[in-house]
Amino acid sequence: MPPLRNLWRYYPERKGLCTGVVLAFFGLSAVIFNIISNNIINPNSFEPDKITKFYPIEVGKNVPNYFFYCFIITIICGILSVFLVFTYEEEKEEKNINFVEQSSLVNLMTINIYCLFILIYFNLI
């Protein structure tokens, strides 16, 4: 819901278009990550055993690599999105509040980002 609310704030006259684009990309990302996960986890297209319904051990050994690649893709998308963030200046008639624009590097240098990196790093170990 936050992506939709932010888009509605920036483009109030095109709420339907914004909603359609965001929801389309949510579905498209699921399709893309499904293809990526299948190519990383089961590159040789092994079939499960007919009796136990388990995949061979080679497939299971590829799962940690998949999580690592997902981590890298998420970090890259997060860093790229930081540079695309800008503040929305909303004009208030009663209070006349002016928002201070921050650069993208200031957004990267917060303690929350460092804590997030440390948390993700220790989860990978």
Give domain status of residue 19, yes or no.
Answer: yes
Asked if 98 contacts 89 with a C-beta cutoff of 8 angstroms, the reply is yes
Per-residue pLDDT reduced to its tens digit, 10-61: 888 888 888 888 888 888 888 888 898 899 999 998 999 899 989 989 998 9
Res 102: pLDDT: 53
Question: From CA 93, how far away is CA 9, in angstroms rounded?
Answer: 17
Give domain status of residue 17, yes or no.
Answer: yes
Question: From CA 16, how far away is CA 13, in angstroms rounded?
Answer: 9
The answer on 68 and 125 residing in a single domain is yes
CB under 8 Å to 102, separation ≥6 — which residues? 87
Question: From CA 116, how far away is CA 118, in angstroms rounded?
Answer: 5
- Per-residue pLDDT band for 96 (boundaries 50, 70, 90) equals very low
Question: From CA 120, how far away is CA 71, in angstroms rounded?
Answer: 8
Asked if 54 contacts 48 with a C-beta cutoff of 8 angstroms, the reply is yes
| Number of independent structural domains in the chain | 2
The answer on 77 and 114 residing in a single domain is yes
Range of the domain at 37: 1-41
